Every structure is written in structure tokens, then in C-alpha cells.
Amino acid sequence: MAFALTGGSTSGINLDVGSSLVKSDWDDIDRKEIIDKVRSSFNYTLLRKIRPYDPNEEEKLAAQLSSSVKLSDKPKDRQQQLNQLWTWVNRRASKIRGPPMRYPAQQQLLDLVDKHLSMCLKAEASNKKLRSLSVILSTPTGSGKTFTAVMMQKHLLKSVEPEKDGSGGQIGFPNMILLYSVPTKQVLKRVGQECEAHGVVYWTAASIRDDAFEVRRPYSIRTERGGKGGDMGPMAEQLEKTNSRGKEFHDLGGGKPEMIIADIRATAAIMAVAAKAEPGSMFHARNLILYFDEPNMGIDHDAKLRETVQSITSNSPLVTILASATLPDWPDLESWWNGQMPGKQPIIYKTISQRPYELPMSTLNLLHNGVVHPRNPLQVFRSFEEFKELIGGEGDLCKQRAVLLTRHFSEAQAGEFLRFPRMSESELSDVAALDLRSLRMKVEERFHSLTKEEFQIFTSKAAAVTAAAAAATANSSSSSSSSIIGTPAVWFNTPRKAPSLRDLVSKKGVTMVATLNPLEMALVIAGKYSDPDGWAQTIVSIKEKISEAHAAKKARDRAARRSQKKDKDEGPEGSFGDEMMGAIQVTLKPGVWVFLDEIADSEMDTLAMLAKGVAFTSCGVQDDVVKRIYQQALLFVPEHVGGSLPPVNVLVVDYSSIYGTDCPAVDTIVLCADLGRSLSWPDHQQFLGRLRRDGTAILVGDDRLLRRAVIGLEQDEAAVAGGGAPKQKALL
């Protein structure tokens, strides 16, 4: 995919992109309750069962679906069937019978890396120089880029014979180390937890300060006590020490990791070490595969981060994978991305892309002056001429805009846009056999045949009302008004009042709110300022529960002491003390509890916020209680609890979480103006990608912010103020 990457933050606000990971972030990787959750997840089972991609099987599936579809004779049921086609559950992957298959892009990547590594082995045997491979993996948000990295290690690189149900017959490349560069703390935890759950032998590498780093061996790979480490120093020294300790204390892997998870600064340091390493070194660039997750995150907002990324690309190893939904193709990237340096063998450049046809539906809304204004996707454009230029023009950027725009149609809007009400029974039957990808491709095709008159009906309520009245009069004797294309109620939903952000919270799933100040916004949404009396009462209730918990702890401690005294007299049979060993919990609300011992340093406002079902995360150091509950909320899956509202149903985040945060329950996202006006178009697309199911996007601001987010343009206010014609400037 090729689309220009030229602009960044225009507000002058310094955005912390979340690359500075603190000790507690690394400690969270192997929390037992989180690992247990991962092992009970769909992805854990999927990695064991997934098969290589087979295009013939996909064609066979399409034929079977076409022959099995039958629309209801009842109009209401039939309309429901047609609406269901536009939902995310109608994506192609959900229709595959039997064990699931890899996505085509995943299979292409594994095959490409396999072929290149095999060629390198042959080249080495012939004493030929090796050429590096650099791959852009441009797949949609939510398409499993983290999962793909773990799958590459388990199914392609692992030295033992791979499992039959998903290996593709690979024999492994045991000398290769997969270096996973994480952009944020949420991705760090996700990758680490996947490694823990799947038994990957991994290390972590963190930047502490300047040129000081810490490389750690997690407890899961240790077989003996000792060699704990915990010191810090230059990266080369840390790698050698960790390797020596792993050998001395007989770690799994014998001192060699299968994967290293590193923050971006640690990644740059490892790449610098690899570039200077001796040929026989385990950490030589020839033995590394760099999986660079979201490499373009924040580089338009942070000059030092940009320099760090440039350092990484200039020291690219044998294989580099740049994984991002919003990274352009090689010809449209600045030259420093290609990593070609003087004296280096020419690099092989490849791009693997997957068009984002199957993103969850995201209806558009603006919150302005306390009123939520729904917007249909065509209203983003100022005129029909602008629509034709930006969507129907030549080039990959127009193509990408068109594909992304399709996700913003509601079920009813998509049906009218594709003329479902005017189709015959046989035509509708053909439509019903299609999956979401095919339907969105049809919407994309329809963009090119859209007339100016139709555009006006879809974007102007007055034009829609006039057209509907005329059609109803003309067709009153021959057909119903259901044949009208451009029904006002479908394209122009009624605005609703929302005096505060609390009124935007989803009634069914998790709401994610993005802002520059997550803690303050979390307190606002939780009601600290709008309902001070209720807030005070919540704190009183929490204090009472804490007092009761302290009393229970004292009673438990007394009982334990009595039990220990009894054990001394009667032998080791006494068990009362063992039963009472569990930590005392304080329930803030059903499903949200804290340990008495962990809240000593917590503010009452923080606990009250959690009691209201609101949690937050940010780049900086934060309360351990909030971090734990936030992490639990990310793993909440609505289907597992019968559709009830999650215990924590509001997550407030900053820029560091708009890339890579994966919460399957998010069905509403809210972008506050303070952060929204600072984002580039790729940033906006990443935040829209936090919707992991069909839902709602609400932007706090005006149409300029909407245009910035959806099509990457905003009106040049200076030109308009000066009396000139509106100009457009790219924000990509």
C-alpha cells in the first residue's frame, strides 16, 4: 500500500509515545492470573490448530456458501438477514469450517522468510555474501501482527520438529533469534504474555537511562535458583552476562533465547551491537530477525524517537519486518527507511499487504457544544468534486481512502447505497451469499458510479427529503416507499444531547476515551466533579469496606497464631492457618476487587474511580492497582458473560495506547479534542482500529477534526479567512 507520510503534529504539543517502559511494566509480563487468561483465550488454541493458507479451500467455501443461502419470505426477517451481512461477524475467516487457516498475508510472510533463510544457508555453504531482506507487513489493525510473530517463532524458526497441525512442514532455523521491538507497554505485556503462555524461551531488554540497559531472563525459563541478575550496563555487556548466566544455571535454551522482547531504545542498542559483533557471535546481525512493530509510531511528534528509528534501520539485520497498518510502501518512504548503507550488500525489499476490507463497522459522530451529531461517511466531503478527486482519483492513496471509508457505513446505509431495496429476489439471493469483504468491495465499486444528484441526496437532508417526497408520489401506485434510495431517516440520524462525556459511555461494551491527561479525564467521567455528593458517599463506603477488611485481617491473624500454637502441641495436622492464608480482598463493585495489602499507597479518588467502573493508563508511572485492573479489562470478552456490561466499562488512555491496545470488548471510542488535533492521519486510523467489534466512533470537535481523522485532510482556515477558496492540506 502506498500513501504519503508527510505531516505530523501541528499543535506543538510534545506527545510521549510510550517507549519509556519502567520496571513494573516488565514485571507485569508473567503475572500468573494474566497468563492463565491468555491460556484460556482463543488465540492460544488457535496457534496450536491453525493450518497453512489454502486458496483452493477458500474458493470451495465461497461456492458452498452460495449454494446454501436462502432468504426469508418475511420482509422483516429478510431485512434482518441483509443487515447481518454488513456486520463484522460476516467476515470470511468466521465462515471456514474445520481448523482455521492462516491469513494469506501471514502465509506469504512465513513462506518469504523461510525461502530467504534457506537461500542464506546455501549461500554460506558456498562462501557467498548474504543479502538482507526487508519486508513491510502492511495489514489492518486487529489482524494479528503480534500473533504472527509468535507463530513465526513456533511454526518456522523453532529447532524441534514443528507440530503437524500448522507447521507447513518446516524444519526450523535454530540459530535465528527473533527480536521483537515493542512500541508501547501494552504491546510489551501482550507479547510477553503470549511467549509465557506458549512456552517460548525469551529474554527482555529494557532501556534504563541513556546508555544503561537491563537484559533479563524471566522465571519461566530458569531451571535452577541463582543468577538472578538485575544489574544494568551497556547493551553488549548485558547480552554477554545474560548468556553466561543462562549457561551456568542451565536455563531453557542453554543461554540462548528464541526471542528477545525489547523497547525501541533497547532495540537500537542491540542492532548497534549486532552490527559490530564477530561473525561467530550469537548476536551477529546474520542471526537476527527484527520484527519491528509499529515503527512509524510517534516519529512525527518526537525528534529523538525519529533518530532512534533511523539508527535501527541503518543497522538492519539479515531479516527485517516492519509491521504496521499505516506504513507506506517502499517508494513512498523517506530513503533512510531502507537501511541501505555504504559497503553493505544490496537489500531485497518486499511488501506484503492486506487491504482493510474487514475492519469492524465504525459509525461516525461529532460531539460539539454538548450535542452528538451523527455523520454519514459521505458528509465528510465538502463537495461531489472533492469526493471524486479524493476517492475516485488515481493512485494508492485514493484506493486506501475508499477502502477505509466503507467501514463507516451503517447496515441500512450500505443496503441503500448498494440499492438492495430495488433489487429483485434473485439479485438479493446472490447478495446474501457474499461475505463482508465482498460487500465492501461492491461499495467501493459503487463509489465510481455515484452521480452528483445521488451524492447530494446522501449528504443534504433537504435534498433527501425532496427526493423522497417526489419518489413517493411517483411510485404510490406501483411500489412502496421502501424502494426509495436516500431515505432521510437512514442517512440523517437525529442529534442527541450529551452534556458531559459520561453521556457517551456505551451501554453494552467497553468505551475507550483518548486524551492528553488520562487521570483527570477518568475522574471527570467517573463523576468526581459533576456529582460531588455521590462521590463523597462512594469514598465513605470504600473506607467502611477497608475498615471491615482490616478487622477481618486481624481476626485471621489471631486465628493463624492460635493454629500455629496448636500445631506445636498436636503436630503438623492443624490446617486452619493454611485455610486463612488467602489475601484479604476489598470489593469495590461486583467484579472489581483489590487486595487489602496493595491499596496502602492508593488515593481514595483512585479507588472511587475504579468503583465507578473507570480505569486509565498512561506513559508515566501509575498506581499498581489501576494497572492490574486495567489489564484485566483488556482481556474481558463479552461473549463469555452473556452480553452483560463489563465490570470496568470505561478505559481512558493517552497517545501511548492508540497503537497496539487490544481489548475485544471495545465498541465505543471517544477522541478528545486536546489529543485529536495533534494526530496525523495514520494516528487517527490506528485509534479507529481500537474498535475490535462493530461500534461507534465519537470525535469531540467539529468537522475539521472529522475530515482529519477519516480522509486525512482539513480545510485551510487561513485561506478561508482571507477570502480565498478553501484549500486542502494533507495530514498524512
DSSP of 348-417 = EEEEEE---TTPPPEEEEEEETTEEEEE-GGGGSSSHHHHHHHHSSSSHHHHHHHHHHHTT--HHHHHHH
Give me the pLDDT at residue 420, please. Answer: 86
Res. 14: pLDDT tops 70: no
Give me the pLDDT at residue 550, please. Answer: 92
- Whether residue 83 contacts residue 412, with contact meaning beta carbons closer than 8 Å, is answered with yes
End-to-end CA distance of the chain: 14
482 secondary structure, DSSP code: G
Q: Do 490 and 504 reside in the same domain of the chain?
A: no
The pLDDT tens digits for 30-57 are 666 667 766 766 667 778 888 888 888 7
- Give the end of a domain, one of 303, 333, 352: 352
**Residue 204, SS3?**
strand
The pLDDT tens digits for 154-197 are 999 985 554 444 444 446 898 999 999 998 877 887 888 888 88
The pLDDT tens digits for 450-506 are 999 999 999 999 998 988 888 777 766 554 444 557 789 999 999 999 999 999 999
Task: Report if residue 368 sits inside a domain.
Answer: no
Phi/psi region, residue 364 (left: phi>0; alpha: psi -120 to 50; beta: rest), is: beta
Task: Report if residue 144 sits inside a domain.
Answer: yes
- Cα-flanking dihedrals φ and ψ of residue 28, to 5°? -70, -15
Task: Report if residue 646 sits inside a domain.
Answer: yes
Give me the pLDDT at residue 651, please. Answer: 97
Q: Do 695 and 634 reside in the same domain of the chain?
A: yes
Average pLDDT of span 390-402: 91
Give me the pLDDT at residue 68, please. Answer: 64
- Whether residue 707 contacts residue 676, with contact meaning beta carbons closer than 8 Å, is answered with no
Whether the model pTM is above 0.85: yes
Q: Do 333 and 464 reside in the same domain of the chain?
A: no
How many C-beta neighbours within 10 Å does residue 484 have? 22
Give me the pLDDT at residue 33, please. Answer: 66
Q: Do 490 and 515 reside in the same domain of the chain?
A: no
Average pLDDT of span 80-108: 82
Give me the pLDDT at residue 598, please. Answer: 86
Q: Do 72 and 152 reside in the same domain of the chain?
A: no
Q: What residues are paired with 375 via a beta bridge? A: 364
Q: Do 636 and 687 reside in the same domain of the chain?
A: yes
Computed over every residue of the chain, the mean pLDDT equals 84
Q: Do 82 and 117 reside in the same domain of the chain?
A: no
Task: Report if residue 650 sits inside a domain.
Answer: yes
Task: Report if residue 579 sits inside a domain.
Answer: yes
Give me the pLDDT at residue 11, please. Answer: 46
Bigger pLDDT: 480 or 620? 620
Bigger pLDDT: 469 or 213? 213
Give me the pLDDT at residue 160, please. Answer: 53
Helix extents (H) in 509-574: 518-526, 532-570
Give me the pLDDT at residue 8, please. Answer: 42
Give me the pLDDT at residue 242, please. Answer: 94
> CB under 8 Å, gap of 24 or more: what pairs does 422-428 form?
422/483, 422/485, 425/71, 428/71, 428/78, 428/82
Give me the pLDDT at residue 312, please. Answer: 96
Average pLDDT of span 110-123: 94
Q: Do 195 and 311 reside in the same domain of the chain?
A: yes
Enclosing H/E stretch for 209: strand 202-209
Give me the pLDDT at residue 211, please. Answer: 85
Name the pLDDT band for 259 (thresholds 50, 70, 90): very high
Res. 524: pLDDT tops 90: yes
Sign of CA dihedral 270, 16, 305, 130: positive
Mean pLDDT lowest among 113-127, 282-296, 437-451, 571-585 = 571-585
Task: Report if residue 154 sits inside a domain.
Answer: yes
Res. 405: pLDDT tops 60: yes
Name the pLDDT band for 671 (thresholds 50, 70, 90): very high
Q: How many domains does the chain have?
A: 3
**Residue 477, SS3?**
coil
Which residues neighbour 684 within 8 Å (Cβ) at sequence distance 6 or greater?
A: 671, 676, 708, 709, 710, 712
| pLDDT > 70 fraction of the chain, expressed in percent and rounded | 82
Q: Do 129 and 256 reside in the same domain of the chain?
A: yes
Q: Which amino acid is at 401?
A: R
- Give the end of a domain, one of 334, 352, 370: 352
Residue given cell 459521505 in the structure block? 378
Average pLDDT of span 126-130: 88
The pLDDT tens digits for 494-519 are 999 999 999 999 998 999 999 999 99
Domain span holding position 427: 55-102+381-494
| Diameter over CA atoms, the chain | 99
Give me the pLDDT at residue 641, please. Answer: 54
Average pLDDT of span 343-362: 90
Q: Do 78 and 143 reside in the same domain of the chain?
A: no
Q: Do 329 and 437 reside in the same domain of the chain?
A: no
CATH number at residue 572: 3.40.50
Q: Quick one: how many helices (H) and strands (E) in the chain?
A: 28, 20
What pairing do the DSSP bridges indicate for beta strands 319-323 and 133-138? parallel
| pLDDT > 90 fraction of the chain, expressed in percent and rounded | 52
Bigger pLDDT: 152 or 726? 152
Res. 447: pLDDT tops 50: yes
Give me the pLDDT at residue 726, please. Answer: 42
Bigger pLDDT: 486 or 234? 234
Residue 627 Cα distances to 25, 63, 189, 203, 276, angstroms: 9, 48, 11, 22, 39
Name the pLDDT band for 423 (thresholds 50, 70, 90): confident
**Closest to 3 (Cα-Cα) out of 717, 692, 713, 727:** 713
Q: Do 112 and 94 reside in the same domain of the chain?
A: no
Res. 337: pLDDT tops 70: yes
- Whether residue 298 contacts residue 267, with contact meaning beta carbons closer than 8 Å, is answered with no
* CA atoms of 136 and 537, how far apart (whole Å): 54
C-alpha cell at 434: 457474499
Average pLDDT of span 129-156: 91
227: exposed, middle or buried (C-beta count within 10 Å: 0-12, 13-18, 19+)? middle
Res. 539: pLDDT tops 50: yes
CATH number at residue 334: 3.40.50.300
Give me the pLDDT at residue 67, please. Answer: 60
**Closest to 656 (Cα-Cα) out of 602, 691, 616:** 616
- Whether residue 705 contacts residue 713, with contact meaning beta carbons closer than 8 Å, is answered with no
Name the pLDDT band for 607 (thresholds 50, 70, 90): very high
**Closest to 531 (Cα-Cα) out of 600, 611, 593:** 611
Which residues neighbour 8 within 8 Å (Cβ) at sequence distance 6 or greater?
A: 299, 300, 301, 680
The pLDDT tens digits for 288-310 are 999 999 999 989 888 899 999 99
268: exposed, middle or buried (C-beta count within 10 Å: 0-12, 13-18, 19+)? buried
Task: Report if residue 233 sits inside a domain.
Answer: yes
Task: Report if residue 114 sits inside a domain.
Answer: yes
